Amino acid sequence: MPVLAEAQRQRVLFQSGFFILFLFAPVFDLLRFDLTQGHLIVFGQPWTLGLDDYLAGRISNDQMTLNILLRLILPILLLAAIFLGIAWRWGRLYCGWLCPHFSVVETINQLVRKASGKPSLWDKKPGPPWHPDGSPAPTDARYWLLALPLALAFALLWAVALLTYLLPPAEVYANLFHLTPTRNQALFIGAATTVLFLEFTFARHLFCRYACAVGMFQSLVWMTNRSAMVVGFPRQRACDCVGCQSFCDHACPMRLKPRTIKRLMFACTQCGQCIAACETVQRDNPEGSLLNWIDGQQALQADGEQGLLAAVSPKPLKFKPIIASPCGKGLG
């Protein structure tokens, strides 16, 4: 997987495309569950188990069993196998490259960083006052006037989109356009918008790390594969970190420490922003970035050497690993 700045642009394109797909999939009947009809619609076609026909005696027990196997159990197993197979090899690739929620997390993080110097309200200290490329990174509290309305706009957009996965999109959008939603539609949109606004404002990466079942399953599968793709840090080059303001730490949307051991990178989304930041800092270093993707034998070696770190802090819950540096000082 490329780790240059071009890769980050490609990732944004993937995220943008998938976000658009998330919004318009119900509109074009690509995928939605219609409560009014009581069944899935996939690529414009009804996806049913034939329960009504079975209850009416039009299909046999054997046919109903076959329908359950082919239309329910087999698709679920196939999709799960593909999804978890990707996670086993590449980790939370879906989260970092496709997930529409994570794209919202990153967008609001950037605005909050510009407003306060911190990507999250829960960060104790602001990041460096300059970018990895050396350009200044000033803060301006006026960005709050953009961050909060944008969080609300995303919340409303998500609430409406989620409703279209359950009710005919034409009906939902027509009612909104004429400001005549039904009582249930208004309650759903109002409640969902409120919850999502609070989550986008206060929880963002915390939801991804601790509450998202999709991300959790990917991480669990990824952790079982010791040779899976992971961010590697060469211990012998720890000297090159001297003078750096831990840009890789501040670049991580999940607020992780990229130079730590794999088990403390449990929620890594493989977005590669830490690698891009390090690459920018080390742009004049002939040996290149200190952080790089590794897998296979290199990942096995890193796992055996505790993530290429010589030592780990005795209080790992604080997520502050100590790197034994050949420079004669520890790097946090």
Which of 177, 207, 237 is a domain's end point? Answer: 207
User: 233 and 138 in one domain?
Assistant: no
User: 98 and 54 in one domain?
Assistant: no
Q: Is residue 294 part of a domain?
A: yes
Total count of domains within the chain: 3
User: 189 and 125 in one domain?
Assistant: yes
More confident residue, 304 or 132: 132
Q: Is residue 213 part of a domain?
A: no
Whether the pLDDT of residue 315 is over 70: the answer is no
Q: pLDDT digits over 44-95, tens only?
A: 999 999 888 888 888 899 999 999 999 999 999 999 999 999 999 999 999 9
Q: pLDDT digits over 89-102, tens only?
A: 999 999 999 999 99
Q: Is residue 160 part of a domain?
A: yes
User: 143 and 110 in one domain?
Assistant: yes
Whether the pLDDT of residue 198 is over 60: the answer is yes
What was the pLDDT predicted at 328?
45
What was the pLDDT predicted at 176?
96
Residue 287 burial by Cβ neighbours in a 10 Å radius (0-12, 13-18, 19+): exposed
Helices 144-164 and 100-116: angle between axes, nearest 10 degrees: 170
User: 156 and 83 in one domain?
Assistant: no
Whether the pLDDT of residue 123 is over 70: the answer is yes
Could you give the angle at the alpha carbon of 279 between the alpha carbons of 294 and 320, nearest 5°? Answer: 70
Which of 207, 233, 266 is a domain's end point? Answer: 207
User: 234 and 157 in one domain?
Assistant: no
Q: What is the mean pLDDT of residues 277-292?
A: 90
Whether the pLDDT of residue 327 is over 70: the answer is no
User: 319 and 283 in one domain?
Assistant: yes
Rg (Cα) of the chain, in Å, rounded? 23
Amino acid making up residue 175: N
Q: Is residue 169 part of a domain?
A: yes
What was the pLDDT predicted at 317?
32
User: 11 and 160 in one domain?
Assistant: yes
Q: Is residue 163 part of a domain?
A: yes
d(CA 84, CA 331): 35
The mean pLDDT of the chain is 88
User: 237 and 98 in one domain?
Assistant: no
Residue 298 burial by Cβ neighbours in a 10 Å radius (0-12, 13-18, 19+): middle
More confident residue, 37 or 302: 37
What was the pLDDT predicted at 304?
67
User: 79 and 100 in one domain?
Assistant: no
The range of the structural domain enclosing residue 260 comes to 225-331
Amino acid making up residue 27: V
Q: Is residue 216 part of a domain?
A: no
Whether the pLDDT of residue 312 is over 60: the answer is no
User: 189 and 154 in one domain?
Assistant: yes
Q: pLDDT digits over 214-258, tens only?
A: 999 999 999 999 999 999 998 888 888 888 889 999 999 999 999
SS3 content of the chain, % helix, strand, coil (to 5): 55, 5, 35
Q: What's the pTM?
A: 0.86
- Write the secondary structure of 190-210 as one string of H (helix), E (strand) and C (coil): HHHHHHHHHHHHHHHHHHHHH
Q: Is residue 37 part of a domain?
A: no
Q: Is residue 306 part of a domain?
A: yes
d(CA 65, CA 63): 5
Q: pLDDT digits over 19-38, tens only?
A: 999 999 999 999 999 999 98
User: 235 and 168 in one domain?
Assistant: no
In the numeric block, the tokens 């590669």 are attached to 272
Least confident range from 171-175, 203-207, 320-324: namely 320-324
